[in-house]
Structure 1
Amino acid sequence: MCCVQRHCWLRFRRCCCRDQPPSTASAGGASREGDLGHRRHLLSGIPLGSAAVPFHHLLLQYSYLSQRGHYPYFPDRENQDTLSINTQLQSNPNLHLFAVFDGHGDFGAQCAAFARDRLFDHLAGDPHLLEDPIKSFNSAFLAANSELHDSEIDDTMSGTTAIAVLVGGDTLFVANVGDSRAVAGVWNGEGVVAEDLSSDQTPFRKDEYERVRRCGATVLSVEQVEGFKDPAIQSWGVESAWDPPRLWLPNELEFGLAMTRSVGDSMVESIGAIAVPEVMTVKITPNHLFFVAASDGVFEFLSSQDVVDMVLRYPDPRDACSAIAAESYKLWLDHSSRTDDITIIIVHIKDLCN
């Protein structure tokens, strides 16, 4: 649950409380394939793609899956997740982009699709992308956010997360707004461990909590807003996952956002809900075996290490996508009557010469 309108809370609490865009060769996002192309899994229909990073002798083998959640109270609700895979960005064989977007609110699917398309357009057209990817990411996110505000899409109480992994030669540049996540599987000499490539931006994080408070945000869970819990308590533990702390406008507790950064959500932008991404830079080593980008439909019940362990069980990333989606779906239904939308990209990093 990324956002909630107060008058809808009882309905959300009862049931526990992304669009498939026009694209080439993609189930849920824009995909521009390089010379190695992709093919589909014979049994599941899940695609398998490959892209070379020739200057550093790397081969990226990837698969992806996006599926609508199970919403018994909203049977016609669309998938608000989307994804984007853009190989040979700017016609550069050493530059590849993998991104996941998780929309929320009444127009979340439209916000996610808009952000996906505009983020690609800005990065693809940025002449400074190679020399300063971090600056380019910042510019692209802020421009996409501004354009969404000015578009015909009502993003007053709707928006999207974005987790984008840019493979630039032998370096990963990971830009994040919201609570979608990227994680790498890294050999440490004894086993393969999860290395988080992003940090969820929610009021659970002390630094993000303090930042939005300085901007004037009221931070409360819905039960605190409704008077069931003491609003003076300003700390939330794991037990608060089903009713997380949210950003609210002071004296106007109509719309609460459970993340501190997003694209869209113009109503709460003035109290710190910004589209400025946090960007992490990671050098690819021979110990980096793969990376994963996914929406919180995956990470709600699976830890980063859980996901890494599951990828390891399946040599074929298509099988890993299926298994992780199925396990996520099962865990949601173990805890609730519904599931979130689930989107995942898995990218294996291999030696091009082998």
Structure 2
Amino acid sequence: MGCIHGKCCSRYPSSSDGDNKDEMGVHPGENTHILANRSVDIVDVPSHNYRLAYSFITQRGYYPETPEKENQDSFCIKTNIQDNPNVHFFGVFDGHGLMGTQCATFVKDRLVEILSNDAALLDDPVKAFSAAFLATNDELHNSDIDDSMSGTTAITALVIGDKLYVANVGDSRAVLAVKEGNNKVLAQDLSYDQTPFRKDECERVKLCGARVLSVDQVEGLKDPGIQFWGDEETEGGDPPRLWVQNGMYPGTAFTRSVGDSTAEKIGVVADPEVSILELKSNHAFFVVASDGVFEFLSSQTVVDMVNKYGDPRDACSAITGESYKLWLEHENRTDDITIIIVQIKDLTNV
């Protein structure tokens, strides 16, 4: 099939088990601005005689102070890249800033197009991925979109035969489910959030001139000399952010993105980290999702939830509902939430 782009509104559909309304829970703004898959799409990978079955949901966040705020998440699924039945792409793009929606839409369109047009894609997918991200970033800078204080993160997965390539910029995430024994399924992260919580990323942006401080530190409520912020799970409410030396901007909580031309001057880059994995028969599925999912759900929790459902539509619904509920338990708003679940079926290698 062609490219599926998630930037429109739709009423939440029925699942294979009937009405899913109760599973979503009752929350402010429920069932508004949702695009969900009405069927499970299946694509073959004939080179290794297996199939991918996938579904998705994207839901606008609940923003009581800006009720008309757009869903700044976007996504793209493109199968049979270069007319090759063994090459398939899945990506989620989480826009931010005043022009975040436009940035995410631009990037999900151009990234996969540039990747698809790269004649060297199958020879060197890692190089092609990096080149596509950097070219898309340059095009965004030179477009009519003001990306000085706006941009998008991007988590993308490319299946080529029995290889899975995951390219990431930012703090969205891809996770693989690995079956161990009869009943155990373990989460294996395929990407690592690029934030100042990571020591390597923190040091990299400091060398580029960034001040790394939490909002409380910038505002003088905490000692700026303490350059230790704990971990993301315990200190996520006031995370370390990037600031120019003599200003109170841009305040990004991530160290890589596409766009963000101001933050680029202090070390935020569009160069992706790319991981490579050989798919095996004990790999059940993988998840590609925005940080709206992972803010309050661990990778293992997400895998455990998906594993409860045979139908990825139901799994998408359950995770979206649980994420939404947890946001409102911890804050007075929710983030935009986007998730793609891809089941790996009938793969027989070991």
TM over 0.5: yes
The CA distance in 1 between the partners of 2:325 and 2:53, in whole Å, is: 27
Tell me if the contact between 2:6 and 2:76 (Cα under 8 Å) persists in the aligned partners. Answer: no
Equivalent residue in structure 2 for 1:206, among 196, 199, 210: 199
Q: Could you tell which deviates more after superposition, 319-328 or 238-247?
A: 238-247
SS at match of 2:56: strand
Selected match of 1:133 from 125, 129, 134: 125
Quote the sequence identity (%): 60
Distance 1:95 1:163 in 2: 17
1:167-203 per-residue CA deviation (whole Å, 9 max, x = no partner) reads 0100100000000000000012361100000000000
Q: CA deviation at 1:94?
A: 0.2
- SS of 1:56's equivalent in the other structure is coil
CA drift at 1:253: 1.8
Inter-partner Cα distance in structure 1 for 2:180 and 2:347: 22
Match of 1:305 in 2: 300
Report what 1:104 is aligned to: 96
Specify every segment of 5 or more residues in structure 1 that has no aligned partner in the other structure, as ranges. Answer: 1-22, 30-38
1 CA distance for matches of 2:340 and 2:45? 18
Structure 2 portions without partners, runs of 5+: 21-35
How many residue pairs end up in the alignment?
322
* Selected match of 1:56 from 37, 48, 52: 48
Amino acid at match of 1:210: E
Give the deviation of 1:268 after TM superposition: 1.2
Query: Given the alignment of the two structures, is residue 180 of structure 1 paired with residue 172 of structure 2, yes or no?
Result: yes
> Who is 2:224 aligned against?
231
- Deviating more after overlay: 110-119 vs 40-49: 40-49
- Indicate whether 1:46 and 2:48 are aligned: no
2:86 is aligned with 1:91: no
Other structure's SS at 2:188 match: strand
Instruction: Tell me which of 241, 258, 263 is aligned to 2:258.
Output: 263
What's the CA shift for 1:252? 1.6
Is 1:193 the equivalent of 2:213? no
Question: Which residue, out of 117, 142, 159, partners 1:150?
Answer: 142
Q: Is the 8 A contact 2:151 2:257 kept in 1?
A: yes
Asked if the contact 1:203/1:219 (under 8 Å) is kept, the reply is: yes
Match of 1:219 in 2: 212
RMSD: 1.7
Q: Corresponding residue for 1:7?
A: none
Q: CA deviation at 1:26?
A: 4.9
C-alpha distance in 2, partners of 1:328/1:58? 31
Query: TM-score, with normalisation over the residues of structure 1?
Result: 0.88
Alignment pair present for 1:292 and 2:287 = yes
Q: Which residue of 1 aligns with 2:275?
A: 280
Residue type of the alignment partner of 2:285: F
Structure 1 residue ranges, 4+ long, deviating more than 3 angstroms after superposition? 23-29, 39-45
Partner Cα separation in structure 2 for residue 352 and residue 328 of structure 1:
31
Cα distance, 1:239 vs structure 2: 2.9
Aligned mates of 2:347, 2:214 — CA distance in 1: 49
Q: Structure 2 length as normaliser, TM-score? A: 0.89
